Amino acid sequence: MKQAILDSLNGMSVTDWIVPGIFLFVFLCRFYYLLFFSARVVFSSRKEVIVNQKARQPITVFLTVRNEEDNLRKLLPQLLGIKDDCYEVVVVDDYSLDNTFTVLGSFKHYPNFHFSSLNEETRFSVKLAQNIALKAAQHEWVLTLPIETTAVGKDWINGFSVNTTTDNRNVMMGYSGIQRKPGYFNLLYRTENFLQQLRSVGYVANGIPFVYFEDNVAFRKEEYFKLGGYGQKTKEAYANLELIINQFITKKKTVLLFNENTCITKEVETNRDDFYNLLNRSFRIEKYLPAWKRTLLGFDTLTNLLYTPLLIVLFVFYFDLWPLFVALAGIKIMLHLILLKITLNRLKERKIFLSSLVYGWLMPYFKTFYKWYFNQSARRSKWRIKV
């Protein structure tokens, strides 16, 4: 078989090498991505051990809520019950029409709990509520927590605060998972949520930093105010603090806390519209990134799209070389499986191993089409507004 492959290679002309050459280039790009992006997620994420309690800086955990009285009754006892004196909780009520503010008042006896509210209906009120929360924060480090959170570990605050001991850090990234529920779109949403965060952390580890999610991300609040807050980005409908964090995040000043101690679990609605909104938000966030980052993301997507069609073409028109292509594809698949399994186990993500494989193979084609459709729709809407 080895001799047959060598004979086939020797008999190929220069033009015969075009397609195999393109495939080998794409294969090397995808293999490089696995080795230096996905693999770095495994090795760059830390599980810190607290050595000196006095060295930690306190953290402000802040939430913005609207008509969330039930979720507050579930989350606040758990959050305020963490046995740690190195944090405070700030909640801003975004003009709720239910008993949210009353529920907040029932927790005012906690010394590390503070709350406020917006007193009128406003557009883009989430950003305004976040601005109030950041101004009210008493500590230098702030940590975003979604109201949909159902579980935080006992070492959750410790996992973040122990990383505030040096001055050369501005951002700490934790993982936020989605609670498993029955339904096709829940599986799609959970998988997309995981893969977006996996991609983001891999890019941060390689000096191309950005975030897709504001949830469970800690940062120095002075960085927010240095940029003047949201400014012209106030009217962006799909993204919030991600837009600000992406303006000051750097590799050297970011700590990746992609482990079970610092992860949270959210219970969110996961119907068809929610899934598409998750995709829409990622598109909008990417739009605000610098051109060089968008170019690298585009190249990553392009090579991923080309890999499978090129492999199929090689099997059809260069069948004599199939052992070589099978060996290359097999090495890539095995590495992908190992890295994916390690990452999922570390984050205690369950029941999305196979879906992540299939989704990562098929969905890039759908997402490319849907992104084009989404951008075209946005342009038409903008044109209609101007008219």
Confidence at residue 387, expressed as pLDDT on a 0 to 100 scale: 36
Confidence at residue 100, expressed as pLDDT on a 0 to 100 scale: 92
Confidence at residue 13, expressed as pLDDT on a 0 to 100 scale: 53
C-alpha distances (whole Å) from 45 to each of 28, 41, 370, 376 are 25, 6, 32, 38
Of the candidates 125, 286, 109, the residue with the CA atom closest to the CA atom of residue 117 = 125
Give per-residue pLDDT as tens, 276-288. Answer: 999 999 999 999 9
Confidence at residue 49, expressed as pLDDT on a 0 to 100 scale: 44
Q: In the chain, where are the structural domains located?
A: 1-57+140-387
224: CB partners within 8 A, 6+ apart = 134, 241, 244
How does residue 153 score in pLDDT terms, banded at 50, 70 and 90?
confident
d(CA 265, CA 151): 5
d(CA 387, CA 163): 51
Confidence at residue 378, expressed as pLDDT on a 0 to 100 scale: 64
Q: Is 279 exposed, middle or buried (0-12, 13-18, 19+ CB in 10 A)?
A: buried
Give per-residue pLDDT as tens, 324-363. Answer: 888 889 999 999 999 999 999 888 888 898 888 888 888 8
Backbone angles phi, psi at 213, to 5 degrees: -135, 140
Question: Which residues are 152's β-sheet partners?
Answer: 264
Confidence at residue 4, expressed as pLDDT on a 0 to 100 scale: 52
Confidence at residue 139, expressed as pLDDT on a 0 to 100 scale: 94
Percent of the chain with pLDDT over 90: 58
| Interval 84-92 mean pLDDT | 90
Backbone angles phi, psi at 150, to 5 degrees: -110, -20
The letter for the amino acid at 171 is V
| Interval 192-204 mean pLDDT | 95
Average pLDDT, the chain: 87
Evaluate whether 59 touches 139 at the Cβ level (below 8 Å): yes
Question: What six digits make up the tokens of 117?
Answer: 């509210």
Q: Is 334 exposed, middle or buried (0-12, 13-18, 19+ CB in 10 A)?
A: exposed
C-alpha distances (whole Å) from 357 to each of 63, 73, 320, 362 are 34, 37, 28, 9
How does residue 162 score in pLDDT terms, banded at 50, 70 and 90?
confident
Confidence at residue 386, expressed as pLDDT on a 0 to 100 scale: 40
Residue 2: pLDDT over 80: no
CB atoms within 10 A of CB 184: 11
